[in-house]
């Protein structure tokens, strides 16, 4: 048995996908007054570090391609994987992504670095929220960490 298979003392490691939509690869340089100064690499490292502490095998991905994000959501549904999803701008209009998220077979938590309700009106609507297990927003990179903690508390299949 490998270290990944043995997991933590609490049990086997549970695989989790952290999926990011457009422009999130630009963290650290994109509007730091809104999105903070943590780079995308910093986000990946913090998610992996906390995941390891929680007994989660966290895989962080980012795409600017709507079709790729949809394929990742299909993968998660097919493999019954929990998802932390920051859809980026797709939050507000991608019904294809919303329909893929609705096919989830494990918890899916929508996250946002900023609080969309404190921003422009077009950001107030999420097409994902009604099919997500829950939403965490407005805590910077901490939104991801809170979502991972919530997933760690969810019973595994």
Extract the annotated binding site for substrate: 86, 92, 99, 113-114, 123
Structure tokens at 32: 């730091």
Task: Select which of 40, 93, 95, 112 is catalytic.
Answer: 112
The number of CA neighbours under 13 Å toward the Cβ of 131 is: 19
Q: Does residue 117 carry a catalytic annotation?
A: no
Residue 132, helix vs strand vs coil:
coil
User: Is-catalytic flag, 93?
Assistant: no
Binding residues: 86, 92, 99, 113-114, 123
The interaxial angle of helices 40-54 and 142-153, nearest 10 deg, is 20
Six-digit token string for 30: 């994109």
Catalytic residue, from 35, 74, 93, 124: name it: 35
Q: Look at residue 152 and give its three-state secondary structure.
A: helix
How many Å apart are CA 142 and CA 92, to the nearest integer?
A: 22
Which residues participate in catalysis according to the annotation? 35, 112
């Amino acid at each position: 048995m490998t270290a990944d298979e043995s997991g933590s003392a609490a049990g086997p490691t549970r695989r989790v996908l952290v999926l990011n939509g457009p422009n999130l690869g630009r963290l650290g340089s994109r509007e730091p007054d809104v999105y903070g100064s943590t780079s995308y690499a910093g986000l990946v490292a913090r998610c992996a570090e906390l995941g390891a502490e929680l007994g989660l095998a966290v895989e962080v991905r980012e795409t600017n391609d709507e079709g790729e994000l949809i394929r990742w959501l299909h993968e998660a549904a097919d493999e019954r994987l929990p998802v932390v999803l920051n859809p980026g701008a797709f939050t507000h209009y991608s019904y294809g992504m919303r329909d893929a998220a609705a096919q989830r077979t494990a918890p899916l938590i929508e996250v946002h670095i900023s609080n969309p309700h404190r921003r422009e009106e077009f950001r107030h609507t999420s097409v994902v929220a009604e099919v997500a297990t829950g939403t965490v927003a407005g805590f910077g990179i901490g939104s991801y960490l809170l979502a991972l903690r919530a997933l760690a508390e969810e019973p595994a299949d």
